Amino acid sequence: MSATQRVITAKVYRFNPKSDQSARFETYEIPYKDGLSVMNVLQYIYENIDPTLSHYYSCRIGRCGGCHIFVNGRGVQSCSTRASEEMIIEPPHRIGFRVIKDLITSDIFLTERKKASLSHANALTRFTYASVAAKVKEKPMRSTKI
């Protein structure tokens, strides 16, 4: 990168349990653009610098939680977090997630959380529908002349 061009410096956690003895951080520099998300940075690295980088993305709108990582020690979703000029990016392995490769972790906890969330949403929907239906039955409809 040229000396005058702004860059994003990302130190990214790398580890493949099948081939690596220990984890390491690799540093990447990419051109800075306003509004880039951390996920955009990871995609740029994957598409233009290092196609061996593994990271997860799905919904891209901050709903699924699959892209949960740590940036500069703070738990975030990469799709909805703005990139800063200097970042240390690592998986949530310190809070109990097992690293499968690089930034991809075991989603057993996430899957259970999604199941619980869906069952809660379904119960809430049933409750809301039942309470609305009861209120509709309580109030007689008024007829109006047209």
Question: Are residues 70 and 29 located together in one domain of the fold?
Answer: yes
Structural domain count of the chain: 2
pLDDT value for 117: 55
Q: What is the pTM of this model?
A: 0.69
User: Do the domain assignments include residue 99?
Assistant: yes
Question: Are residues 32 and 64 located together in one domain of the fold?
Answer: yes
The one-letter code for the residue type at 140 is P
User: Do the domain assignments include residue 135?
Assistant: yes
Q: Whole-angstrom Cα distance, residue 79 to residue 128?
A: 31
pLDDT of residue 132 exceeding 80? no
pLDDT tens-digit map of 113-126: 555 555 554 544 44
pLDDT tens-digit map of 37-75: 999 999 999 999 999 999 987 766 766 777 889 999 999
Question: Are residues 51 and 111 located together in one domain of the fold?
Answer: no
Residue 130, domain extent: 107-140
Q: Is 73 exposed, middle or buried, given 0-12, 13-18 or 19+ CB atoms closer than 10 A?
A: exposed
